[in-house]
Amino acid sequence: MKSHAKVVVIGGGVVGCSVLFHLARHGWTDVVLLERDELTSGSTWHAAGGMHTINGDPNVAKLQKYTISLYKEIEELSGQATGVHLTGGVLLAATEARLDWLRGVVAKGRYLGIDLEEISPNEAAELMPLLDPKQFVGAVRNKEDGHLDPSGVTHAYAKAARKLGAEVERFTKVEDIVRRPDGSWRVITNKGEVVAEHVVNAGGLWAREVGRMVGLELPVLAMEHMYLITEDMPEVAAWNQKTGTEIIHAVDFDGELYLRQERGGMLMGTYEKANKPWSEFQTPWNFGHELLEPDIDRIAPSLEVGFRHFPAFQNTGIKQIINGPFTFAPDGNPLVGPVRGLPGFWVACGVMAGFSQGGGVGLALSNWMIEGDPGADIWAMDVARYGDWATMAYTNAKVRENYSRRFSIRFPNEELRAGRPLKTTPVYDALSAKGAQWGVSYGLEVPLWYAPDAVRDEFSWRRSSDFDHVAKEVAAVRGGVGLAEISNFAKYAVTGEGAAGWLDRMLACKLPKRGRMTLAPMLKDDGRLIGDFTLANIDDGEWFIAGSGIAEQYHMRWFEAHLPKNGSVRIEALGQKLAGLAIAGPKARDVLAKVTRADVSNAAFPFMAVARMDIGMAPCLVGRVSYTGDLGYEIWVAPEYQRAAFGALMAAGEEFGIGLFGSRALNALRLEKNYGSWAREYRPIYGPLEAGLDRFVAYGKEADFIGKAAALAERRQGGKLRLRAFIVDADDADVIGDEPIWFDGAVRGWVTSGGYAHHAQQSVAMGYVPKEIADEADGFEIEILGKRHGARIQSAPLFDANFEQMRA
């Protein structure tokens, strides 16, 4: 075994071998994979081997499509058979709600290049003869589903990597990982040690244990997962003989089942409600090619549905039940990327769907390591989406919930309950008493809307029980004044003698003067958006940044990686050390004036001003800015004072009819101003010109900010896309995101977000289209639940188009 390597990959499952292959294919051949046993030991060897392109996140779906297309290449390069069978498949709906969801899947496929088609139950039965069409209301055909040989694929990755110059060391157990003073890593094994510049934790079932070697507790948990293989079935033989093809895959979402042909019989797997974690706290190192004891009683309810939906199973015997552990993250997506605070340490774990996602994970991680960027928008897989609030107990609760809901519908207005409430603000109880209906953001409870007694969310793809109540919250803001809890924003303090110079390089905006704020895009080296913030100059050498709460870890990883080595700049993520309230509406200044001695007149405290002032008895930081588009103020306060500030504002606002509003009303309000948001309109695949943020980019400032050259090039060349807002001729359902945008009968773009703008009484969508058609008046349609609706570009904001009220 070599003593030095550029990269050490830990784990010889399909993910680790994919990472090794992609690094070698990119030209990094000084790489070695360490596997404590034989390749595939862990979850890989007993996987059912299914592969599919469908995913709730379209960016992950793109990587799954890439993974499936890769198998031919690695088979040819390695000479190792992968056993790929592209049989195609059917996705089945037993309810109208499920069929609506599948129509959304078909719609996404239109701009992802995935060949999907809605078909009837009878047409599905013609393709998959074992199902009973009377049990279903509709289906979708996918021509790119299939299955493969898990061992063959893993060895193909490994052999292809070796041919390109990489090395694989089997029966080499990693026992410790130690950071050296020069930043490199000592990877200590039972056969000696390797010093590496980079270490990749692709440990699979042992990812937690590998993480703990460097002080990292990863939010992953292994779950027992069962599938059965039947004896040979005459129906299968008859179909094979008649058509010369295998029986295609089927996913029965409402039965929580997946099925495919296995030799002369069928394989049926389930994600049962009565699930069971495996080895919750410590994965035994001596576990390998063992299986767990089957428990047919636990999966019996699902099998009963399966036997009813697929009657042929009633007449066959079960040859084998496979029960083995697979690892999951709390939301079911992988954990991929560099780890904040551990330069050179990477993770590629929690990849439950390894044969659908393993290739994409390997590609993204190798791009990231070599080029400094994953080359795709992989926010849904980024390890930075979790913070230290994702404890072991939280992970256990959320993984169990996610597993039990693997095939369940997640409605756009549905909030999942496991692991909650975890983080709350001091006014949580007060807002609950007012009828707050809670959601969660980065572990923190946030008010969505306020319900009268006995009114709760009715989960639906269409406008639901909250609709009229959100409209009242919007009316309170637009007509007078509303108050919102905004502690879910990320907050950062930047200090030090080098703070101004550092911010000038990190952010693309012109730095504001003392007592002022500005909107601040942040770019990557390639000129794409990596963040959008509000930057406030509090005092000389003291700066405050507010941004998207879900991206706190993501942005801190970027900030810290670019800090100067001399200690002249300090940045702190304030988290819940600072709570937030916001007031907005034409009477907002009147309310603020009643609770502070500070002069908050327009002359003394104009738009985008910031200052410290007391709200009642509570010391606060107040900025004159509002995401609603109204006259408004954001108020930041230490948590011990939040209740006092809240009480003072509500009491002062009583004479003005102050009302509480939640994030659903805020969404309706910001749509009327064409305001985008992080992870929807603003993502690392868009440039500032494309996203409409170029007016906040100080192209001419002296500082050579990160991404400046690329942003200037985009400005000269015009980019490819434009973000646009649309008014949609909707019925009883509005866009939720990822719907296709049609133009002149062809899909030309995609929706990023939207909803109903209650004040303007319009259905609104925001999304990207090619710049060549971005200013066309007619010809647009947006597809919602399988139906195309006329849409018109909203050339000016629906509310306060001249920004007069905001600046009044």
pLDDT of 777 higher than 90 = no
**468-512 pLDDT tens trace:** 999 999 999 999 999 999 999 999 999 999 999 999 999 999 999
User: Do residues 345 and 185 lie in contact, with contact meaning Cβ atoms separated by under 8 Å?
Assistant: yes
pLDDT of 541 higher than 90 = no
- The mean pLDDT of 247-268, rounded to a whole number, is 95
pLDDT bracket for residue 356 (50, 70, 90):
very high
pLDDT of 756 higher than 90 = yes
pLDDT of 289 higher than 90 = no
Query: Phi/psi of residue 509, each to 5°?
Result: -85, 170
Which amino acid is it at 524? K
pLDDT of 540 higher than 90 = no
Beta bridge partners of 445: 440
pLDDT of residue 264: 97
| pLDDT above 70 coverage of the chain, percent | 100
pLDDT of residue 626: 96
pLDDT of residue 765: 98
User: Do residues 466 and 664 lie in contact, with contact meaning Cβ atoms separated by under 8 Å?
Assistant: yes
Q: Please report, for residues 355, 486, 673, the alpha-carbon distance to residue 662 in angstroms, rounded to integers and kept in the order given.
A: 41, 9, 17
pLDDT of 54 higher than 90 = no
* DSSP-assigned letters across all residues of 51-100: E----SSHHHHHHHHHHHHHHHHHHHHH------B---EEEEESSHHHHH
What is the average pLDDT score of the chain?
Answer: 96
Query: Phi/psi of residue 308, each to 5°?
Result: -80, -40
Q: SS3 string of 657-717?
A: CCEECCHHHHHHHHHCCCCCCECCCECCCCCCCCCCCHHHCCCCCCCCCCCHHHHHHHHHH
- The mean pLDDT of 386-397, rounded to a whole number, is 97
Most distant pair of Cα atoms in the chain: their distance: 87
Q: Quick one: tokens of 636?
A: 């930041």
- The mean pLDDT of 733-762, rounded to a whole number, is 97
pLDDT bracket for residue 459 (50, 70, 90):
very high
Closest by CA position to 440, among listed 466, 468, 414: 414
**What DSSP character marks residue 324?**
E
pLDDT of residue 57: 86
- Alpha helices by DSSP H, listed for 176-329, are 207-212, 234-243, 296-309
H or E segment at 723?
strand 721-728
pLDDT of residue 56: 80
- The mean pLDDT of 175-183, rounded to a whole number, is 97
Residue 109, Ramachandran bin (φ over 0: left; ψ between -120 and 50: alpha; else beta): alpha
Residue 529, classed as helix, strand or coil, is strand
pLDDT of residue 643: 98
**What DSSP character marks residue 119?**
E
| pLDDT above 90 coverage of the chain, percent | 95
pLDDT bracket for residue 731 (50, 70, 90):
very high
pLDDT of residue 454: 85
pLDDT of residue 350: 96
pLDDT of 216 higher than 90 = yes
User: Do residues 704 and 504 lie in contact, with contact meaning Cβ atoms separated by under 8 Å?
Assistant: no
pLDDT of residue 525: 96
pLDDT of residue 709: 97
Q: How far apart are CA 105 and CA 786, in angstroms?
A: 9
pLDDT of 144 higher than 90 = no
pLDDT of 766 higher than 90 = yes
User: Do residues 79 and 52 lie in contact, with contact meaning Cβ atoms separated by under 8 Å?
Assistant: no
Between 608 and 795, the more confident residue is 608
Q: How far apart are CA 270 and CA 251, in angstroms?
A: 10
